Amino acid sequence: MSEPDDLVLLFAADCHMWWAGDVALGEEQIESPEDFAYGYDGRGRPLRLAWVEGVPRLELASAASQEAALRQHVRAYYLRYSRLGLEPPSEDDLATFVAAVADDRIDE
């Protein structure tokens, strides 16, 4: 299976989301297994977290995009954390949607 795309969206169990434009930077942000519940690369492919000698490593869990689940997790984040009641981006194209999410600034 191939490696994740550079841009990754990561989610904690409490729906908190963060993104990283680089897989290595995303891995650096994970301090413990509890920090990661879900993750997707820029093509909507799900990620899993592996620990290699105590270091977090993001790997593809599937080569198939799970666009609907990614959009659902993004929506849950916006509903829970947007104090201004912002809606997630509405772009139909997945790559454009992911880029818009990464470019959005949510006032938590």
* 3-class DSSP string for 13-74: CCCCEEEECCHHHHHHCCCCHHHCCEEEECCCCEEEEEEECCEEEEEECCCCCCHHHHHHHH
Q: What is the pLDDT of residue 3?
A: 81
Find the farthest-apart pair of alpha carbons in the chain and give their distance in angstroms, rounded: 42
Q: Which residue has the tokens 């809606």?
A: 87
Q: What is the pLDDT of residue 107?
A: 59
* Of 24, 16, 82, 33, nearest in space to 8 by CA: 24
91 CB neighbour count, 10 Å cutoff: 13
Element (H, E) at 75: helix 67-81
* Of 6, 4, 13, nearest in space to 80 by CA: 13
Q: What is the pLDDT along the chain (108 residues), one digit of tens a residue?
A: 678 877 999 999 998 899 999 899 999 999 998 899 999 999 999 999 999 999 999 999 999 999 999 999 999 999 998 877 788 999 999 999 999 999 886 656
